[in-house]
């Protein structure tokens, strides 16, 4: 494992242009990319790379603000040996808008009255028909609520693999004047929820604490997410699981159709990751959990 640091700078904030800081820091095209769309310079360096402090000092000395993100990276052997992997979707095309405000229905009878944790989906997944371009050319994707979507061939491969803990729902696109149309996609659902994570997890924070204790968890850009679980918590896992904790922003006032719901994270075995990769699915980060002593 190694930790990658991603530095993003708006080019308009760099007097004289990006090369005035990239050159002195020794950051060439092997680590620096000029993104014309974002009008930004993105530099990715190993946390131990001697060029990192040089670059940060140059930016600081010149009063240039930057964005900073740290992510753990893993060798293939580490990913294959993991007990479970956190699945995170990061496609540059973004996530497709879906959920209660598009027409997906939920049973809220056992959900938290303040944040909506525990909302139980009762219909097929409905996505915004105006955003179907997000799915074009992909084998798998995620909605804005972290619902996992897989195209039909990948769904068949998962079903035939005897992977445990999975079920599927249909996926429909909603158009304002044309109604709903079924898509050649399936929503991948988990039937098993893990116990709470260990307090030894790092890189996780709570943005808006709720009395239920389950919602509004989020990552910290400057600290890699490292979820830890007690050995007893992962003794009875499935191939597809979701976290007890729900992540993201929550806005719930009793009307589910006007809500922003938090969501659990997916945790899968390396077996599921292999099926995704064999199908050509891209745009995902796979992060091994840590198993700690009781």
Ranges of each domain in the chain: 2-73, 76-292
Across the strands, what pairs with 187? 149, 169
pLDDT tens figures, 187-233? 999 999 999 999 999 999 988 889 999 998 998 888 999 999 999 99
Lay out the sheet containing 179-190: strands in order across.
125-128, 166-175, 179-190, 148-151, 140-142
Helix axes 152-160, 270-278, angle to 10 degrees: 140
Condensed to tens digits (0 to 9), the pLDDT of residues 132-180 reads: 999 999 999 999 999 999 999 999 999 999 999 999 999 999 998 777 8
DSSP strands (E only) in 152-262: 166-175, 179-190, 204-206, 217-219, 228-230, 240-247
The mean pLDDT of 83-111, rounded to a whole number, is 91
Q: Write down the pLDDT at residue 206.
A: 86
The b/e string for 171-208 (b: 16+ C-beta within 10 A; e otherwise) is bbbbeeeeeeeebebbbbbbeeebeebbeebebbeeee
Q: Which CATH class is domain 2-73?
A: alpha beta
User: What is the CB neighbour count within 10 angstroms for residue 284?
Assistant: 19
pLDDT higher than 80, residue 92: no
pLDDT (tens digit per residue) in 239-275: 999 999 999 988 888 888 888 889 999 999 999 999 9
The pTM assigned to this predicted structure is: 0.91
Alpha-helical segments (H) within 115-268: 152-160
Look up residue 236 and give its two tokens. 């009875």
Instruction: At 26, list the tokens.
Output: 């020794």
């Amino acid at each position: 494992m190694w930790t990658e640091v991603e530095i993003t700078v708006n080019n308009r904030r760099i007097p004289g242009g990006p090369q005035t800081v990239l050159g002195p820091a020794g950051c060439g095209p092997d680590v620096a990319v000029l993104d014309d769309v974002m009008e930004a310079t993105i530099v990715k360096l190993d946390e131990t790379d001697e060029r990192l402090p040089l670059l940060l000092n140059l930016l600081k000395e010149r009063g240039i603000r930057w964005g900073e993100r740290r992510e753990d990276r893993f060798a293939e052997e580490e990913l294959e040996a993991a007990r479970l992997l956190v699945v995170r979707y990061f496609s540059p095309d973004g996530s497709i808008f879906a959920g209660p405000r598009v027409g997906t229905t939920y049973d809220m009878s056992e959900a938290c009255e303040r944040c909506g944790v525990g909302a139980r989906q009762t219909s097929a997944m409905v996505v915004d028909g105006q955003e179907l371009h997000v799915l074009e050319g992909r084998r798998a994707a995620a909605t804005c609520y972290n619902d996992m979507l897989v195209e039909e061939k990948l769904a068949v491969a998962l079903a035939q693999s005897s992977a445990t803990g999975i079920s599927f729902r249909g996926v429909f696109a909603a158009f304002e004047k044309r109604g709903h149309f079924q898509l050649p996609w399936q929503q991948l659902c988990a039937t098993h929820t893990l116990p709470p994570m260990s307090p030894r997890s790092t890189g996780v924070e709570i943005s808006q604490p709720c009395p239920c204790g389950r919602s509004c968890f989020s990552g910290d850009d400057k600290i890699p997410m490292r979820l830890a679980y007690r050995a007893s918590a992962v003794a009875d896992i499935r191939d597809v699981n979701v976290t007890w904790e729900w992540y993201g922003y929550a806005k719930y006032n009793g009307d589910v159709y006007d809500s922003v719901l938090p969501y659990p994270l997916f945790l899968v075995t390396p077996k599921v990751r292999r099926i995704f990769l064999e199908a050509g699915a891209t745009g995902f980060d796979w992060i091994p959990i840590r198993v700690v002593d009781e």
